[in-house]
Structures are given as structure tokens and as C-alpha cells.
Amino acid sequence: MGFDDLRSILLSERETGKLLQVPPDLFDRTHAEIAELLKKVYAIEDPLSEEARALIEETIAMKETMHDLFSIRSRKIVALALVHAEGNYYDREEVKRMLPSEKTMFEQVAAGLLACQGTLLKNEKQPLVPAPAPVAAPAPAAPATPAAPAAAGAKTVIVIGGGPGGYVAAIRAAQLGAKVTLIEKEHLGGTCLNVGCIPTKCLLHSADLINGIKNQGADIGVKVTGVEVDFPQVIAHKDAISKKLTTGVGGLLKMNKVAKIDGTAAFTAPKTLEVTKADGSKESMTADDIIVATGSVNATPPIPGLKENPNCIDSTGALSLKELPKSMVVIGGGVIGLELACAYASFGTKITVVEALDHVLPMLDGDLTAIGVAHMKKMGMEFHLECPVQSVEKSSVGAKVVCKNKAGETVSFEAEKVLVAVGRKANTAELNLEAGKLDNDRGRIIVNNKMETSVSGVYAIGDCVKGFALLAHTAMVMGEVAAERIMGKDSVYDESTNPTCVYIEPEAASVGLTEEQAKAKGIDYVVGKFPMVANGRALILNGGEGLVKIIASKKYNEVLGMHIIGPDASDLIAEGALAIRLECTVDELISTIHSHPTVTEAVRECALNVEKRCIHSKN
């Protein structure tokens, strides 16, 4: 019996989490058996829907489909379809997490099984049923009646904000046929392209070249004398890159026929905006749907003397300095502060970091943070943890930061510049959310995973919403989800595969659960680690500094988290994100051939270490 044997194997794999050997001829035997049964079913007079008939005909014709079961992911889907068809309990979230193609496979297999369940599953005649819809998504909420009719039947959409989330949402909605207007008060590309992600990486690239020459040059036979930092040119290069990218965004909007208004917008009523244009004129506007994408701004803590001192700057100011400071105190041990600290330390600025918590970079796995901090200390950076700032005073040098250390003593640090990097807050103060009836928590707009707000037809995305990561790449995906929901597609936002990248020296990146989070959740997990020093390419690039770490479930060996610090970590982490998205097991990572010599080999070696069979390092 082909089907019974295959059924037993697949359900056993689902129960134990362990893959079993499947005889190759079992697929042919199973297909022949199912095809024969379906032919009999097709001949019965019982009513079948046209959809079910089409599925049966397709199953009979496509013998190759059975061989898809050599794919581990396909076997998991078919096993779930068996559970569904037999009426047993399973978590519906498993289906919601599937890709569209996987859902189609699940529904087709379940339909085929249900259609012939009388003979195939229970060995007794059962009424035939049409193809099921196991994950029927709720219909999108009907938008409120627009104040102005859509032109030529096209749906109208207003996007407030032209940052990564806003411009992506505008383009995606336009691709799907909407008539889109984007309102932007300053620069296209938002914080990311103008005073955030891209400018910071420009400075870090300059810093990386300097570090390479200083730290590795002599060892690799590159002798350079008189290396110096032309700081005005560093800033000029940053400005040129930003301009090129923002100009490109403008071109993309034009290419997709998105209308752009230079100005600001504020709600005067639900789904009604007052737009103040660059020339000072005002216009009341509405649309079928509105997407709020106003991003975030630097948060300023209420520290006495901070605002009054012109030498206290935020990240925007740190990216626009005219001269390279000799010294800088960084208030805050998060991503923004430490990335800029690494850049300026490489340029020769004396860096002192003060942080109120007992650790820095809380979003990273502890093992990565330890390696990163150790390297930053080697760069000459000082760290003062559990050292909250009490005030900022004037100083002949520039500014004096007064703190209270762990022992309760008052300590102070003087520097030419003080970088305040304690986080960001939603940029919604000018939106008049109350008039728009948008539920919010201190300005952070409350949304669900469809990016819907409390007002039908109004969506919010990116840094201005509550409860999601404040990152450019998450804002972009949220923008796509909002646009697709508006245009009738069943899209939802899932942050489980969101990578966090920290461009310190060396780079660090993380996706999924950290070991600390796995412990807190009570998950039974296993860990794999692989040092970059045992990877040939990493040894060449940075002397082998760094680590790859994998967190996997003990029962199924499913990848739950991946954490990397070392060369190109921000690029490598995509493999971890994909592994989590596909519910990849450690053995699937191992069975995937990684090219040599590359840093990616460290990922496979780390997976081997989970199973204590690492080749190039101890287990």
C-alpha cells in the first residue's frame, strides 16, 4: 500500500520532528494508487464542484507532483493537509504563515484527500466534498465613503510622508492601479536616506577604509604613509550619495505616476486633511484611503542644561559637522549612538559612552554584544554603564556631562561635542490625531497586522506606529502591506523574520530569538556556535574576529534564531531570516551546499555545531 506507507511516514515526521528515509519507489506507488482512486471518484455520479473536478484532473495528470515530496517543506505541508483532511486538531497559524504557493499546495492536497476520503482515508464510502478553504481570510473592511469621487473609477490614495515606508506604499498602490498623491514636507527618502541609515553608513565606510589601512595594511603588504581624514570630504561624499538616492526616489514616483505635493498635512476630521503647501496655501483633501507614514524624530531627554548647550547634538547634527571634534561624549548605548561612535573613533575622536542601563545594545544576543564591546574598547572607546546623566554644564572644552555612577558618586566627562542618542519618538505631533479619531499611545498610532488604524480607510506604517520595529526595511514592508490591503489583497505584516543589523565594528546582525529570549519563554532549545577565526575568508577580511550563533528547538531542530558578528554580518543574516520564514531545520541548512571560500560557510559550520559534528572547530 503506497498511500498508507507514505501517510505513516509523513505523520511520524510531523509528530517527532525527525526526517525519515522514504523509498524512492514509494512516490510512484502512491501516485498510481491515488490516481486510480481519483479516476473512480471522478466516475461517480455524486456532485462535485467545478473547482474540485479541476483539482482532480490536475492531480491525475501531474505525476511529477509526487516527487515534490522530496522537498522537506513540501512534506510538512502534505502532513498538515493529512491532519486537516482527517479532521484532527492543528494550529491554524501554521497555515497563516505559509507563502501563497504553499497555501495553494495545502488546499489542493487537502481537497484531493477529502474528495476521495471514503476510499483512501477511512476505507468506507463518504460523501464527496468540494475543495475546502481552510484559511479563509476576512474580507477587507469597506472604506468610508470618500469626500471626493475617484477619477475614472480609480481608487484614490493619499500617503502622508515620503520616507522609506511612504514612498514604497505610494509606488505599490500605484502599481496596483490606484491614483496616488504623496505629501512630503521636506526631503524624499525621509530620515533614512537624508539623516539616518545611508549617511551613517557613508561615514562608516570611510572609517572602515581607515581601519583596514591602520590595522591590517602592514600585515597584508600594503604600506601607506600619511593617512589622514579629510573630514569635509567625508561629509561631502555622504551628501552626494544621499542626493543621488533621493533623486532616484523622485524618479521612481514620476515613473509610477504618483503626484507629489510639497507641504504638510493635518487631520481636521476622520479621513479629511488640511494640506498646507510650500507656498503657504491651504487645501482640504480626502481620498478613498489614507496612509500615514510620517516616521520618527530624535527624542530629547529632559536633562537640565542639555537644550541650552549648542555643543549638544543629535544624530542629525553628528552627520553635518563642519569640523572633526577631538572628543565626544555619547549619551546612550543603543544602535544610533554606537554606530556613530565607531565612525568618529576611527576618525580619531576620543569617545566616551555613558549609559543608564547595565548593558548596551539590548536588541542583540549577549554573546554578540560581548564581542562588539570588547572590540570597541580596543578602538579606545570608554564605557560607563549604570551611569545615568544628571545634567549638562558649560565647559571651556565644549560641554560637561555630569553623571551618577553605580556607586552613587558624582562623576563628570568633558568633551567638545555631546551626542544625545537615547532613542526616537513618533513624528505625529503636527497630524492632529485627535481630530482624525486615530487611537494612539502618546503619539504612536495603534494598528493591527494589516496596518489598519481605528478609522476605516486610514492606515499607518513605519516609525509612527506602536508595537513594531523602528527600521527602514520594516517600514517598507508595512507600506507594501497597507497598499495591498487597500487594493483588495489579503496581505498581513509578519515581523518574525525581521533582521536587526548594527553597523558597529565588526558588524553585528540578528534575526529571531536570542538565547536570552528563548530562556525567558521557557523554550527547550539547543545552541550552535562557530568562531570566525576558523573561517578562511573571515581570517583574510578582518583577522577572524566574530562569531555565528544559532538557536534551534530541541524537539524539531527548527531554526529559531541566528546571530552573527563579523565581516558582512548584515548581508549574511538574510540566510537566517529565510531559514526562519521557511521553518527550516538545522539539517536543511547543513544539506545546503555553501560556496568556498566564503564567510557564509561559517553559517553551515554553526549548524553542524548544533548537532555536535562541526568539521572546522571543536564541538
Q: What is the arithmetic mean of pLDDT over 25-46?
A: 58
What pLDDT digit, counting tens, does each position of 388-417 carry? 999 999 999 999 999 999 999 999 999 999
Q: What is the arithmetic mean of pLDDT over 11-31?
A: 65
Q: What is the arithmetic mean of pLDDT over 122-138?
A: 37
For the annotated catalytic residues, the residue numbers are: 596
Which SS3 state, helix, strand or coil, does residue 550 take? strand
DSSP 199-232: HHHHHHHHHHHHHHHHHHTTTTT----S----HH
Q: What is the arithmetic mean of pLDDT over 436-454?
A: 97
Q: What is the pLDDT of residue 483?
A: 98
Please check the confidence at residue 74 and state whether its pLDDT lies above 90.
Answer: no
pTM over 0.95: no
What pLDDT digit, counting tens, does each position of 471-519 carry? 999 999 999 999 999 999 999 999 999 999 999 999 999 999 999 999 9
**What is the dihedral angle through the alpha carbons of 71, 77, 78, 84, rounded to the nearest 10 degrees?**
170
Q: What is the arithmetic mean of pLDDT over 32-38?
A: 61
Q: Round to whole Å and give the CA distance between 177 and 440.
A: 30
Q: What is the arithmetic mean of pLDDT over 65-85?
A: 62
Burial of 149 (0-12, 13-18, 19+ CB in 10 A): exposed
Alpha-carbon separation of residue 59 from 46, 83, 117 (angstroms):
19, 19, 15
Q: What is the arithmetic mean of pLDDT over 27-42?
A: 60
| pLDDT confidence band for 83 (50 / 70 / 90) | confident
Out of 86-90, 181-185, 295-299, 390-394, least confident range: 86-90
What pLDDT digit, counting tens, does each position of 539-549 carry? 999 999 999 99
Mean pLDDT (the chain, rounded): 87
Q: What is the pLDDT of residue 104?
A: 72
More confident residue, 52 or 283: 283
| pLDDT confidence band for 55 (50 / 70 / 90) | low
| Residues whose CB is less than 8 angstroms from the CB of residue 140 and which lie 6 or more positions away in sequence, other chains included | 485, 486, 488, 490
Q: What is the pLDDT of residue 119?
A: 44
What pLDDT digit, counting tens, does each position of 513-527 carry? 999 999 999 999 999
- The angle at the Cα of 59, spanning 56 to 63, to the nearest 5 degrees, equals 160
Please check the confidence at residue 37 and state whether its pLDDT lies above 70.
Answer: no
Maximum mean pLDDT: which of 29-43, 89-103, 116-130, 355-369: 355-369
Please check the confidence at residue 573 and state whether its pLDDT lies above 50.
Answer: yes
Give the up-direction half-sphere exposure of residue 452: CA atoms within 13 A in the CB hemisphere.
18
Strand ranges (DSSP E) for 368-423? 382-384, 389-394, 399-404, 410-415, 417-420
Please check the confidence at residue 138 and state whether its pLDDT lies above 70.
Answer: no
Q: What is the arithmetic mean of pLDDT over 18-30?
A: 62
Q: What is the pLDDT of residue 54?
A: 56
Q: Which fold has domain 312-422?
A: FAD/NAD(P)-binding domain (3.50.50)
Out of 170-184, 217-231, 329-343, 572-586, least confident range: 217-231
Which SS3 state, helix, strand or coil, does residue 415 take? strand
Out of 64-78, 100-114, 126-140, 559-573, least confident range: 126-140
Q: What is the pLDDT of residue 62?
A: 47
Please check the confidence at residue 614 and state whether its pLDDT lies above 70.
Answer: yes
What pLDDT digit, counting tens, does each position of 413-434 carry? 999 999 999 999 999 999 999 9
Q: What is the arithmetic mean of pLDDT over 128-152?
A: 41
Q: What is the pLDDT of residue 21?
A: 63
Looking at the DSSP assignment, which residues form a beta bridge with residue 383? 353
Share of the chain above pLDDT 70, in %: 79
Please check the confidence at residue 48 and state whether its pLDDT lies above 80.
Answer: no
More confident residue, 128 or 193: 193
Domains 152-297+426-496 and 506-610 share a fold: no
Q: What is the pLDDT of residue 409?
A: 97
The answer to whether 594 touches 605, Cβ cutoff 8 Å, is no
The answer to whether 230 touches 373, Cβ cutoff 8 Å, is no
Share of the chain above pLDDT 90, in %: 74
Q: Helices then strands (H, E): number in the chain?
A: 21, 24
Q: Which fold has domain 152-297+426-496?
A: FAD/NAD(P)-binding domain (3.50.50)
The answer to whether 507 touches 338, Cβ cutoff 8 Å, is no
**Domain residue ranges in the chain:** 2-120, 152-297+426-496, 312-422, 506-610
Measured N-to-C along each axis, helices 335-347 and 197-216 cross at an angle, to the nearest 10 degrees, of: 40
Out of 116-125, 349-358, 386-395, 526-535, least confident range: 116-125
What pLDDT digit, counting tens, does each position of 252-301 carry? 999 999 999 999 999 999 999 999 999 999 999 999 999 999 999 999 99
Superfamily of domain 506-610: FAD/NAD-linked reductase, C-terminal dimerisation domain (3.30.390.30)
Which amino acid would we find at residue 429?
A
Which SS3 state, helix, strand or coil, does residue 288 take? coil
Q: Round to whole Å and give the CA distance between 294 and 297.
A: 9
